[in-house]
Amino acid sequence: MGAKVKLCLIGTGRAGMIHAENFCTNVKDGEMAAVSDVDAERAQAAARELGVEKWYTDYRKAIRESGADAVIIATPTKFHCEIAVYAAENGLHIFCEKPMAMSVPECQRMIKAAEENKVILQIGFMRRFSEDFARAKEIAYSGEIGEIVMIKSLTRGPSTPHEWMYDIKKSNGPLAEVNSHDLDTLRWFSESEPESIYALGGNYRCEAAREQYPDFYDTVILNIRMKNGIIGCIEGAQGVGYGYDARVEILGTRGMITVGDLKKNSVVTCSKDGGMKSDIVESWRNLFETAYEKEDKAFIQCILEGEKPLAGGEDGLKAVAMVNAGNESITTGKIVTM
C-alpha cells in the first residue's frame, strides 16, 4: 500500500458520492482511484465530478483492475453481500453503507470473508461519529439522569422511496432503509441486545405502491425490550415532506436527554402575518455532514493502524436481525422473541 489508501466507489448515488467527495477533499490519507456503477453515464459523470480517470460498469473488474486498496459499497442493499465478499477475496478493505445486507446469513458471509482475508469491514453508522450523539451517551452514563429506563429514536425522511424499495423482499422496507441508524443507536446507547420486538406499520403516503406492493409500509413503530430491561421505541416514516427529522430521547429515573433537532439553525422569525417560524433541516446530508467526514477518516485510520472499526460487521448484523424481526412482527402481528 502506498502513502495514501486508494479507494474505489461502487454505486454512485447520493450516499456514495458523499463519501467519495470526502476522500477527495477532507481525508488526507485517502485517495479516490475509481468509480463503478451499472449505469455507464452515471459512472462517467461521477468520475468527472470527482476528478478520477478510471470508471467501470462491472464492480468485479473495478476491484481487480483499479489498483484500489479499499471499496466503498453504496449500492442497493441486495448487492452488498456479493460485492463485499468479492472485495475481501481480492484483498480489499470494505466500507459498506447501511443496511449491511438483507439477512443475518449474508452478514455472516461478509464477516467471515473479511476475517479470513484479514481486511477491515466497517459499516456506515455515522451517528456513532456525531459529537452530539456521543455527548448524549456520555451524559447518559454519567449518572446525571439516574438509571436509563427508555430510549426513543425516530427518523423521518421528506421524500418518497425509490420504486425498488416498495418490494420488501428486495429492500427490507423502511425499517432497513430509514431505521437502521435508529436500531444501531438503541443498541449503542443501551449497551444491550434486543430480547423481544413488536412492530406495526402502514402505508399512508405512497399510493402508487398499494396495489402491486400491499406489504409495503411508509410508517412504522417498533417497541423493543432489551435484555438489560431498557425499553426501546423506534419510529420511522418516509415521504413526510416537511424536512429531515432525526431525534433521540433518553429517559432516566431522574431526568432525560434529547439529541437531534428538526430546526436547521437557531434563527426564529416572528411576524404578525407569518407567526413564529424557523428553518428546517432539508436532508440527512446537512444534519450529519461532519459525522460522515469523521467516519471516513476513521475508516482510513483503521486500515493504516490495524484498528477495530467503531461500527463493524457484528453491529451491522445485529441491526439487520432487528429489521428482519420487525418485518416478521408486522406481517404476523405477533411479538418476536430474539
Per-residue pLDDT tens for 13-62?
Answer: 999 999 999 999 999 999 999 999 999 999 999 999 999 999 999 999 99
Q: How many residues does the chain have?
A: 338
| Percent of the chain residues past pLDDT 90, beyond the cut | 88
Bridge partners for 56 per DSSP: 36
Q: State the fold for domain 130-288+319-337.
A: Dihydrodipicolinate Reductase; domain 2 (3.30.360)
Give pLDDT, residue 280.
Answer: 73
119-177 tens-digit pLDDT = 999 999 999 999 999 999 999 999 999 999 999 999 999 999 988 899 999 899 999 99
The pTM for the full model equals: 0.92
Contact between 143 and 250 (Cβ < 8 Å): no
Name the band, by pLDDT with cuts 50, 70 and 90, for residue 271.
Answer: low
Give pLDDT, residue 190.
Answer: 98
Whole-Å CA distances, 136 to 130, 188, 266: 10, 11, 20
Q: For the residues 299-317, what does the mean pLDDT come to? A: 97
Cα 117 to Cα 120: distance, rounded to the nearest angstrom: 9
Cα 247 to Cα 249: distance, rounded to the nearest angstrom: 7
Name the band, by pLDDT with cuts 50, 70 and 90, for residue 286.
Answer: low
Q: Over 60: is that where the pLDDT of 296 sits?
A: yes
| Percent of the chain residues past pLDDT 70, beyond the cut | 95
Superfamily of domain 5-127+290-310: NAD(P)-binding Rossmann-like Domain (3.40.50.720)
- Annotate 117-136 with b (16+ C-beta within 10 A) or e (fewer): bebbbbbbbbbbbbeebbeb
On average, the pLDDT of the chain sits at 94
Q: Over 60: is that where the pLDDT of 268 sits?
A: no
Q: Over 90: is that where the pLDDT of 279 sits?
A: no
Cα 111 to Cα 107: distance, rounded to the nearest angstrom: 6
In degrees and rounded to multiples of 5, residue 249 shows phi and psi of -125, 130
Give pLDDT, residue 260.
Answer: 87
Give pLDDT, residue 164.
Answer: 87
> What type of residue sits at position 196?
S
What residue ranges do the domains of the chain occupy? 5-127+290-310, 130-288+319-337
Q: Over 60: is that where the pLDDT of 267 sits?
A: no
Cα 12 to Cα 122: distance, rounded to the nearest angstrom: 19
195-220 tens-digit pLDDT = 999 999 999 999 999 999 999 999 99
Cα 143 to Cα 211: distance, rounded to the nearest angstrom: 51
Cα 38 to Cα 296: distance, rounded to the nearest angstrom: 24
Cα 18 to Cα 74: distance, rounded to the nearest angstrom: 10
Cα 296 to Cα 21: distance, rounded to the nearest angstrom: 10
225-247 tens-digit pLDDT = 999 999 999 999 999 999 899 99
